[in-house]
Amino acid sequence: MKVLVPVKRVVDYNVKVRVKADGTGVETANVKMSMNPFDEIGVEEAVRLKEKGVASEIIAVSAGPTACQEQIRTALAMGADRGILIEHDGVLEPLAVAKLLKAIVAKESPELIILGKQAIDDDMNATGQMLAALLGWAQGTYASKIESADGGLKVTREIDGGLEILQLKLPAIITTDLRLNEPRYASLPNIMKARKKPIETVKPADLGVDVTPRLTVLKVEEPAKRQAGKKVGSVQELVDKLRNEAKVI
């Protein structure tokens, strides 16, 4: 079974995000970038499926600037077999990424796609679902456990009321939740081997996909600073402040 794992380049989760002075976006110059944590979980799960003999080949795909090769190399060091970079320097919205991945699917014919449920930069949580709709494939979102069963996959997913178990027929799309696994650290030998693994580079135009943005960002600003809390001496004083100061009752 061939597995496709999309990986996104984002600002590292340990970095404090700063808004640009002109309010047009988030500052990324001279900022540490890394693989989206949810996509890292997706790579780890694909590698585990390969170690179990379920998957035969893992392809890491990223869409963005040339620098995205760094995240693909990380996926290769973790255990992916080869990479594909869809090179584009502009903004890529979830629908555009889903269309690009659909074109890659038509080219590579994978049976399973594992991607993060969301990216930590825009929190869109839409690409996986959009791709499933475009392909007409079964999908299991927010997966916390994946098992091979009855020629397909049994996916345990987290919902508001607890857990839901789905039986998916292949081909299928799975989006990962935090509790699915704990990604491994790439060893030095595997990092060295990853340098020799192939990365194919294509352009959106090569795939016949129009990635023109459909949304316009009007302004980006930091959330307002929270005011300090106040201590009250009695329930009556609390009710008084809620009624006359906060005006919430």
Q: Would you say residue 15 lies in a domain?
A: yes
* Domain hosting residue 119, numbered range: 2-224
Indicate whether 86 belongs to any domain.
Answer: yes
- Asked if residue 209 is part of any domain, the answer here is yes
- Residue 90's pLDDT is what? 87
The CATH number for 24's domain is: 3.40.50.620
Give the pLDDT means over successive 10-residue stretches in the chain (249 positions). 95 89 85 94 96 94 95 95 94 94 96 94 92 96 91 90 92 94 91 93 94 90 84 91 87
Residue 111 maps to a domain: yes
Number of CB atoms found within 10 A of residue 91's CB: 13
Q: Is residue 230 part of a domain?
A: no
φ, ψ at 107 (rounded to 5°): -85, -40
Residue 119 resides in a domain: yes
Could you list the beta-strand ranges (E) of the chain.
2-6, 9-11, 33-35, 57-64, 82-87, 112-116, 138-149, 152-159, 162-168, 172-176, 199-202
Number of domains the chain contains: 1
What is the distance between the alpha carbons of residues 188 and 143, in angstroms, rounded to a whole number? 30
Give the pLDDT score at 193.
Answer: 92
* 233 domain residue, yes or no: no
**Coil, strand, or helix at residue 63?**
strand
Task: Give the span between the Cα atoms of 213 and 22, in whole angstroms.
Answer: 20
Q: Which residues pair with 148 in a beta bridge?
A: 153
The DSSP 8-state label assigned to residue 171 in this structure reads: S
Is residue 160, in this structure, part of any structural domain at all?
yes
